Structure 1
Amino acid sequence: MAVKDKNTVTTSAIEGSKPRNQKEARRLWTLIIGDVLVFLIFSVIGRQSHGEDSGLSAAFKVVWTALPFAISWFLIAPFMGAFRRELMTEPRQIARKTGFAWLAAWPLGVILHFVFEQHLPDLVSVITFGLVTLITNTVFLFVWRIPFAMTNHTKDTQAQVAPRKR
């Protein structure tokens, strides 16, 4: 739904995320798959740091550990604008939106983690696990999403400077 305000047109975060062409669709799917991989990597590292299984034989456990964070991310981040088309080529904007979106999604991810694990944690566990999750996933999302936007920006800039040969 478009909203007109003083000669500018803005769209909802979800509408602004819908791809308009094949290149945008490919970028959106690449971003989604990369985000899923971020949560899986976080899960593998976390499980290894706690001496838990994390190899191929433990694939289900790795996915189960990552799932609460991925669910919270994909429920909240789209509404926070973290998948908007214009972010795909703007490193600063993607970093800003990613940070705010993860900050909003993070509490739900931590709550869902303890629900999935059927574990009632003490306050110290919630705080330490919560802070580690907040910081680590913020870094991982930045390490993935900022270079993604930089690469797309470079590709678009090069395409404008040197049009394709036929």
Structure 2
Amino acid sequence: MAVKEKKTVTTSALEESKPRNKQEARRLWMLIFGDILVFLIFSVIGRQSHGEDTGLTAVLKVVWTALPFAISWFAIAPFMGAFRRELMTEPRQMARKTGFAWLAAWPIGVILHFVFEQHLPTVVSAITFGLVTLISNTVLLFIWRIPFAMTNHTKDLQARLAPRKK
């Protein structure tokens, strides 16, 4: 008796993130750059709220503060599908994937933050800092990523509707 082999096509989140053309490559790099800016903005806001230096002389300190969160985001988010091609033009899917990816990356970022700072937090400060980090970065990522997808959606729609030159 012959056994039929079932062929399933699976594509990883990383494969679905690879750009197929220059426009997709540009969008991916813009998304990455914007995500980096989000973590730097979070760092500046956090440092200012604690009365820490954020001026030009503190650039390395700002980067150092942002680094644990960026590391966790870029280590986890691609595998969670937060950089998939189809997200670049789909605001709802972008929001959903971004939220789940940050929820997965967030605890690692908080742990790395305390490791980078060589600081053992109290339970209360860990919970407080963790929740502020979770909520703040979720909001900042949404503020950046959802309009990014909306803009790309609009551009693609306009390009499809525009009369073609012969």
Give the structure-1-normalised TM-score.
0.94
Query: Which structure features the higher share of strand residues?
Result: 1
CA distance in 2, matches of 1:88, 1:18: 12
- Give the structure 2 partner of residue 82 of structure 1: 82
User: Contact 1:103–1:134 (CA<8 Å) still a contact in 2?
Assistant: yes
The structure with the largest alpha-carbon Rg is 2
- Give the structure 1 partner of residue 149 of structure 2: 149
- Give the structure 2 partner of residue 138 of structure 1: 138
Quote how far apart the aligned CAs of 1:163 are: 4.2
Identity percentage of aligned residues: 84
CA distance in 2, matches of 1:37, 1:17: 20
Letter aligned with residue 48 of structure 2: Q
SS of the residue corresponding to residue 82 of structure 2 reads: coil
Letter aligned with residue 90 of structure 2: E
- Give the structure 2 partner of residue 108 of structure 1: 108
Letter aligned with residue 14 of structure 2: I
CA distance in 2, matches of 1:116, 1:4: 46
CA distance in 2, matches of 1:154, 1:87: 13
CA distance in 1, matches of 2:7, 2:44: 46
Letter aligned with residue 76 of structure 1: I
- Give the structure 2 partner of residue 161 of structure 1: 161
CA distance in 2, matches of 1:125, 1:41: 21
Quote how far apart the aligned CAs of 1:11 are: 1.3
- Give the structure 2 partner of residue 43 of structure 1: 43
- Give the structure 2 partner of residue 73 of structure 1: 73
Unaligned runs of 5+ residues in structure 1 are none
CA RMSD of aligned residues (A): 1.4
User: Contact 1:90–1:149 (CA<8 Å) still a contact in 2?
Assistant: yes
Quote how far apart the aligned CAs of 1:57 are: 1.0
Which aligned runs of 4 or more in structure 1 are off by greater than 3 angstroms? Answer: 163-166
- Give the structure 2 partner of residue 128 of structure 1: 128
CA distance in 1, matches of 2:7, 2:163: 34
- Give the structure 2 partner of residue 27 of structure 1: 27
Give the structure-2-normalised TM-score.
0.94
Quote how far apart the aligned CAs of 1:45 are: 0.3
CA distance in 2, matches of 1:14, 1:51: 40
User: Contact 1:4–1:10 (CA<8 Å) still a contact in 2?
Assistant: no
Relative to 1, partners in 2 of residues 1:93 and 1:52: Cα closer, same or farther, differing over 3 Å? same
